[in-house]
Structure 1
Amino acid sequence: MLEELEVRNLGPIRSAVLTPDKGMTAITGETGAGKSMLLSAIQLISGAKASVGRVSAGAESAWAQGIFDVDENGNAAGLAQDAGVLDADSEETDPDPDEIGRRELFLSRTVPASGRSRAVLCGHSVPRSVLGNVAAELVTIHGQADQLRLASPARQREFLDMAADDGVERAAYRQSWEQLQAMDQRLNTVTNQEASTRQRADYLRESIEQINKVDPKPGEDEELKGKRSRVENSAEIAQGVGSALSALDASQVDSDSDAQGASDAITHAIQALRTIHVGGAFGEAADRLESLNADLSDIVFSLSNEVDSDEDVDGLDAINSRIHELDELTRRWGPTLEDVIAWRDKAAFEIEDLDASPEKVEEIKAQRKQAFDVAMKSAEALSRKRKLAATALANTVTKELAALAMAGSGLEIRVVRRNVASNKPTGKNGETQTASDTWPLDANGIDDIEFLFTPFPGSPQLPMGKSASGGELSRLMLALELSVAEKRTSGSRDMTFIFDEVDAGVGGKAAVELGKRLSKLAQTSQVIVVTHLAQVASWADTQFVVSKGKAAAKAKNAGPKATVETTVNEVTGDARIHEIARMLSGSESATSLTHAKELLDESRL
């Protein structure tokens, strides 16, 4: 949702701040006052191409910034985080409960009078394309210059999929499509092997044979090196362990020895302390000595086992030979034996793909045929859901158009399934493709989608975007957005819809219906409409008036080079009634004021 739009030195607007309502906001004003500059500002922060001609006369640069309140888990926040301008872990120390899970994104654009423009996202300079990608998740502009966005088949397919709510079917198809692509890659590999591929297969087989001949075990080399070290130092180990045991418990070395060891001394000390019947420190000292004696007994036991172990000095050569074999493996396929074993297992799978024997090729072809059948089945399920949604969406849109003063106009959505047997793509030399042939499937299914619009009775059906005026297309887009409003927003207001020229050629009762439908859309999304009709503006929750302000009047007296300046102000209460009256009749007579008040009172859902 757009929380604030600030503009400086853009055309006739020297400085303006717009704070749209979360519902419907109307922007009104006399023709030529500069309403289009606000739309230009939004286009700039949406990544549109900058024009130095829009910089106010005498200013060094124009600047626009939009502050958006977004879901921190939404696509826009995700794109900002991917761009490195949003810290995923930052949190307010005392957040408002209503703001938990929300983020603010700052999108701004500076256009100098000379030089290149600068795009900034949350205080960080970014490429204009990044700003455009983020804004595309936040703002949808429906104006004469912005209707072509739904003219492409890809956009039309995306819109229909949203209306169809076919996420489950698309996910199933995407998975089967990726499996089919993987099988195509394997089949291409085995059927188009060259000498280098055969050499690779031979190398893998020889390598696997060498590894299997040695038959390494994980960690075996480290274990052998430890054993070798013990064998090489067995005499030193025996002497050291014997001396330690003699000091700790001589009976472990010589059962007939009467010498007192450390363990006996500690035992005597414990007994002496236990004879003291004054508690406190003496008892605690005895407890600590008992704990120490238990640890000492464990050490004596461990060292005694070392004395009993018999290192095989004669097997040292065998140990060194085995270590050498294992070192050769880690040198070539290491650095560890675990890496060697993993490489061998992976190589075994790779050899299967490099095996170009006729039997192997036929096996992969059969697997590929099975993957193709699964993908076709998923594509057909997706196609059925699209066709049902296309009929329902077209009927709903056509009904909405009738209420928007476009009776007799209509929308048809064609979901055309590609023919399996005909129009099959061919290779470079005209031959039919085989291994990589996925016709009639592509990454999006089996359908070609086309939106055809009839703008008036008797008009032929023409591709959307090439068949109507800006106002007619704006109303078509409004009808489309109304038809999918709940599915698009899912109850959130992250998307902002901006309508320009939507009221062109509309008046009377149709204008009231137009305003009513804009207000209906504003129940689930933020709506900003640039309008000259009071019947539309009256439905808005908030209204801003663009007009030539005091600064402009002073500018007129400044001389022949003076420029026209524009102000943007919110109107409420009586001021709004006066503005609606002006829009109704061009005057603010008692009659028009009364009519304006009645219109505002009646413009409620």
Structure 2
Amino acid sequence: MILELEIRNILLIDHLEIEFRSGLNVLTGETGAGKSILLDSLGFVLGWRGRADIVRQGAEQGEVTAIFALSDDHPARAVLAEAEIPVEDDLILRRVNRADGRKTAWVNDRRCSGDILRNLSDTLVELQGQRDDRGLLDAKGHRALLDSFAGNGTLLADTRSAWTDLVSSRRFMQGLEAAVAKARDEEEFLRHAVQELDDLSPEPGEDAALDAKRRLMQNAEKVRQDVERVVQALDHSEGAEGRITDAVRWLESVAGNLPDDAVSGPLAALERVAIELSEAQSGVEQVLAQLSFDPEELLATEERLFALRGLSRKHGVPSDDLAAFADELRARLDRIETADTELEQATRSVAMAERAYADAAAKLSEARQGAAGRLDTAMQAQLAPLKMERARFVTQVTGIASGPDGVDAVEFQVATNPGSPAGPMQKVASGGELSRFLLALKVCLSGDDGTKTLIFDEIDQGVGGATADAVGKRLAQLAQSGQVLVVTHSPQVAAYGQQHLRVEKRVEGETTLSHVEVVAAHERVAEIARMVSGDQVTDAARAAANALIDRASQELS
């Protein structure tokens, strides 16, 4: 519910701070005093579309702040969480309109867009009256209102679940049909490609291995020549080993002419070198043996490598992925061979989903039809005390294309005169009739949402006496489970108020300003008497005001 509304420099208001209470809050005042300005200001801070020139003349900017109390389960909390705005028990909305038309808004001191304001507004306030374009007059919401009245939550959930299953089944079948059709169109290509890949039987990593082998064989002849030179250099007779053998023999021949052990060290070293050279010669000869190759093997290696790369280019697939690609093509061929069975199973699944949805939608439609009759009956009971006993309210339920919420369209229609065809409320009813239709409908639907502040703008237009009293009684009934704000000219309605606010227009110097004051309990008789008789408050008017207040108190007790 709304706790406070602060307005600065909006139209005829320089600065106002208004506190609201739970229950029925009534706003009274003479025509033109500024009651509608309060609603314009509230609509502005809630992001509603309204008049553009709301900044008070001479001011640089206008500003409105509204504070709402949120229950633990209030739907506004979900909107705040989604927008990543801090959630607290009090919700503070502030919006500024500069003289040049620029607007800025804050929610709990966090800058936000107009869309966020409007999303919050949908959970906070509901305006009932001729200026309402999103509440009860919006036919798009009538089906949800009827479902809420009927308690169709479980049936609606079942229908939505069945619709989800049906859409999923149809989507799967469409995808299957498209895949099968595509596969059949390319069946000849698939068979040829699979055969070609199977014949080659590529393996991951084979391209790199073949390429390395090919390069080795291509370079083998040159490498062999170099290795052969190494062999010759190490040959026993002409190479290093022969020269070392000669050196050993020569040293041994002169050893007797030298001191003892003079050549033992060099001889031992030469023997070690001879052994190392022998091992080196053996290793080089093994390398030479490995470098021998068959030219036919090189040709075969090149042919397979080129075949792999040819298929890679043909299918646009890396060589290492050809084996996996072959498996993919083979699976597409398998799909063709099993297509009839899969399509038959998918068709059965769709048929079962269609039957399940049709059954759920039929149960929901039956419940809606029954609830439509009950709502029409309840409305007729409400319209009679509002002096509209000859009017007729019709909840029209018609068939539409299947959807997640069933196969029904719902629209609330009215006929104000016997024999006249029913039509949309806003087109058929006059201003006063429309207000009473909306009040009666809200009373019948009062269980649909207790979290919003309900605002009724001059809903008593064109009525008086017992009818106005009936209006007040119903407003008080709605206010028992929440908060209701009503702008009224009717003393009968004002008498039911649990908080009374008076709007006045005053001339201060050369400036006309609107003010709002809380009417204290001891002042209520005078204010309601003024509403009864005008500026001249007579004793009879005071007596009538007392009677109205007493009657309202008895009704509320």
Q: TM-score scaled by structure 2? A: 0.70
Aligned partners of 1:46 and 1:19: how far apart in 2? 17
Aligned partners of 2:68 and 2:349: how far apart in 1? 50
Higher Cα Rg: structure 1 or 2?
A: 2
Number of the residue aligned with 1:181: 167
Q: 1:350 to 1:149 in 2, by over 3 A?
A: farther
Q: 1:12 to 1:152 in 2, by over 3 A?
A: closer
Deviation at 1:545, TM superposition (A): 0.3
1:474 aligned counterpart, secondary structure: helix
Deviation at 1:356, TM superposition (A): 7.8
Q: Is the 8 A contact 2:28 2:501 kept in 1?
A: yes
- Which one of 406, 411, 414 corresponds to residue 453 of structure 1? 414
The answer to whether structure 1 residue 484 and structure 2 residue 445 are counterparts is yes
Number of the residue aligned with 2:507: 553
Aligned partners of 1:139 and 1:509: how far apart in 2? 29
Aligned partners of 1:573 and 1:386: how far apart in 2? 46
Amino acid at match of 2:432: G
Amino acid at match of 1:578: A
1:79 aligned counterpart, secondary structure: helix
Q: 1:370 to 1:598 in 2, by over 3 A?
A: same
Q: 1:565 to 1:350 in 2, by over 3 A?
A: farther
Number of the residue aligned with 1:537: 494
- Which one of 592, 602, 605 corresponds to residue 541 of structure 2? 592
Deviation at 1:553, TM superposition (A): 2.9
1:84 aligned counterpart, secondary structure: coil
Correspondence 1:244-393 to 2 at 5 A:
357-393=339-375
Aligned partners of 1:31 and 1:601: how far apart in 2? 26
Q: 1:355 to 1:524 in 2, by over 3 A?
A: farther
Deviation at 1:583, TM superposition (A): 0.3
Q: Is the 8 A contact 1:50 1:117 kept in 2?
A: no
Number of the residue aligned with 2:522: 574
1:144 aligned counterpart, secondary structure: coil
Number of the residue aligned with 1:170: 156
Deviation at 1:25, TM superposition (A): 0.4
Correspondence 1:218-237 to 2 at 5 A:
none
Aligned partners of 1:414 and 1:65: how far apart in 2? 41
Aligned partners of 1:138 and 1:80: how far apart in 2? 12
Number of the residue aligned with 2:65: 65
Deviation at 1:384, TM superposition (A): 1.3
Q: 1:389 to 1:530 in 2, by over 3 A?
A: same
Q: 1:412 to 1:350 in 2, by over 3 A?
A: farther
Q: Is the 8 A contact 1:190 1:354 kept in 2?
A: no
Number of the residue aligned with 1:246: none
2:402 aligned counterpart, secondary structure: coil
The answer to whether structure 1 residue 22 and structure 2 residue 4 are counterparts is no
Q: 1:350 to 1:577 in 2, by over 3 A?
A: farther
The answer to whether structure 1 residue 79 and structure 2 residue 65 are counterparts is no
Correspondence 1:35-50 to 2 at 5 A:
35-50=35-50
Q: 1:198 to 1:166 in 2, by over 3 A?
A: farther
Aligned partners of 1:13 and 1:454: how far apart in 2? 41
Taking only aligned residues, the RMSD between alpha carbons, in angstroms, comes to 3.3
Q: 1:355 to 1:443 in 2, by over 3 A?
A: farther
The answer to whether structure 1 residue 498 and structure 2 residue 498 are counterparts is no
Q: 1:181 to 1:350 in 2, by over 3 A?
A: farther
Amino acid at match of 1:107: L
2:428 aligned counterpart, secondary structure: coil
Amino acid at match of 1:179: D
Name the stretch that deviates more: 183-192 or 45-54: 45-54
Deviation at 1:481, TM superposition (A): 1.2
Q: Deviations over 1:152-204 (max 9, x none)?
A: 442111111111111101111111100000011111112223759999xx8xx
Q: Is the 8 A contact 1:147 1:473 kept in 2?
A: no
Q: Deviations over 1:15-69 (max 9, x none)?
A: 1122222000000001110000011112112211253422111111111122111
Number of the residue aligned with 1:3: 3
Q: 1:380 to 1:579 in 2, by over 3 A?
A: same
Amino acid at match of 2:379: V
How many residues matched? 425
Q: Is the 8 A contact 2:126 2:135 kept in 1?
A: no
Q: 1:531 to 1:180 in 2, by over 3 A?
A: same
Q: 1:400 to 1:15 in 2, by over 3 A?
A: same
Amino acid at match of 2:507: A
Aligned partners of 1:118 and 1:415: how far apart in 2? 43
Deviation at 1:501, TM superposition (A): 2.2
Q: Is the 8 A contact 1:10 1:63 kept in 2?
A: yes
Q: 1:405 to 1:109 in 2, by over 3 A?
A: farther
1:5 aligned counterpart, secondary structure: strand
Aligned partners of 1:534 and 1:353: how far apart in 2? 80
Name the stretch that deviates more: 454-463 or 170-179: 454-463
Aligned partners of 2:340 and 2:486: how far apart in 1? 67
1:403 aligned counterpart, secondary structure: coil
Q: 1:481 to 1:50 in 2, by over 3 A?
A: closer
Q: Is the 8 A contact 1:190 1:356 kept in 2?
A: no
Number of the residue aligned with 1:142: 128
Aligned partners of 2:169 and 2:96: how far apart in 1? 50
Unpaired runs of 5+ residues, structure 2, are: 199-316, 318-328
Deviation at 1:584, TM superposition (A): 0.5
1:504 aligned counterpart, secondary structure: coil
Amino acid at match of 2:136: L
Aligned partners of 2:529 and 2:544: how far apart in 1? 7
Q: Deviations over 1:218-274 (max 9, x none)?
A: xxxxxxxxxxxxxxxxxxxxxxxxxxxxxxxxxxxxxxxxxxxxxxxxxxxxxxxxx
1:24 aligned counterpart, secondary structure: strand
- Which one of 428, 435, 438 corresponds to residue 474 of structure 1? 435
Aligned partners of 2:156 and 2:59: how far apart in 1? 51
Aligned partners of 1:148 and 1:104: how far apart in 2? 25
Amino acid at match of 1:116: R
Number of the residue aligned with 2:233: none
The answer to whether structure 1 residue 55 and structure 2 residue 55 are counterparts is yes
Aligned partners of 1:522 and 1:348: how far apart in 2? 71
The answer to whether structure 1 residue 583 and structure 2 residue 531 are counterparts is yes
Q: 1:518 to 1:50 in 2, by over 3 A?
A: closer
Aligned partners of 1:507 and 1:589: how far apart in 2? 19
- Which one of 380, 384, 406 corresponds to residue 398 of structure 1? 380
Deviation at 1:487, TM superposition (A): 3.9
Deviation at 1:351, TM superposition (A): 11
Aligned partners of 2:419 and 2:490: how far apart in 1? 29
Amino acid at match of 2:533: S
Deviation at 1:443, TM superposition (A): 1.8
The answer to whether structure 1 residue 159 and structure 2 residue 113 are counterparts is no
The answer to whether structure 1 residue 116 and structure 2 residue 70 are counterparts is no
2:53 aligned counterpart, secondary structure: helix
Aligned partners of 2:53 and 2:8: how far apart in 1? 14
Aligned partners of 1:507 and 1:183: how far apart in 2? 60
Amino acid at match of 1:380: A
1:53 aligned counterpart, secondary structure: coil
Identity in percent: 32
